[in-house]
Amino acid sequence: MAADPTHQDPRALWKALAPETDPVTLDRIHASARKFHRAAALAAVVVPLAVALCAFVIGRLWPAVHDPWLRTAVALLGLGMLASSILVFRARFLPRGPGEPAGVYLRRRLQQELVSSRGGLRYSMLPYAPGILLAAYVALRRGQDPWWAPILAVALMVAAIVLVLWRTGAAAPKLRAQLDELDQMLGR
């Protein structure tokens, strides 16, 4: 080992640094990973139940719909819901490898959620577009309702999708902060 050319004692340099105010422990990393895993496990139950509930409602209302265009719109919305839930499910719920350390898994999960919140979720909403457009066409084609009712229905569907996208995008700074904190914990 070569001698230090500056002739400074490394221990003296280390002691001059301020002590860490919040020491990061391995238990804290594991607790964060378990928290994300519990949230994923809960969502893995809730998302299929919500899809099944919506499918049940569509199935119960199906016999009451006699217009073939409206039936097609409802079918497209149902297929869009299924495709969207599959895309969201695959993006949000990453399996943990058997030998994968908790910190690496947590970092991978946070990165995936950050990508989803920055725009990846927009692509998962695209399967709804054909059904919404056809439903708007059917609603505007009918002359029985007041002129504003079809526009209001389509506006409410679009507003719901925009609200989901906005709330997801608003979570991006918090996810970025959590990812930076984890990187500090892991020394990256």
Q: Where are the domains of the chain?
A: 26-186
Report how far residue 79's alpha carbon sits from residue 82's, in angstroms, rounded to the nearest whole number.
Answer: 5
> Which pairs from 33-36 meet CB under 8 Å and 24+ separation?
33/102, 33/103, 33/105, 33/106, 34/102, 36/106, 36/109, 36/110
- Among 170, 12, 24, 10, smallest CA distance to 106 is for 24
Specify the pTM.
0.58
CA angle 3, 7, 13 (to 5 degrees): 110
As a dihedral over the C-alpha atoms of residue 89, residue 154, residue 72, residue 52, rounded to 10 degrees, the angle is 30
- Among 44, 32, 43, 41, smallest CA distance to 101 is for 32
From first to last of its 188 residues, what are the pLDDT tens digits of the chain? 455 556 666 666 666 666 655 556 777 777 777 777 777 777 777 777 877 887 777 777 778 778 888 888 888 888 888 888 787 777 777 777 777 777 777 788 778 777 777 766 667 778 888 888 887 788 777 666 676 776 777 788 778 778 877 777 777 787 788 778 777 777 76
Tell me the torsion sign for CA atoms 167, 35, 108, 20. positive
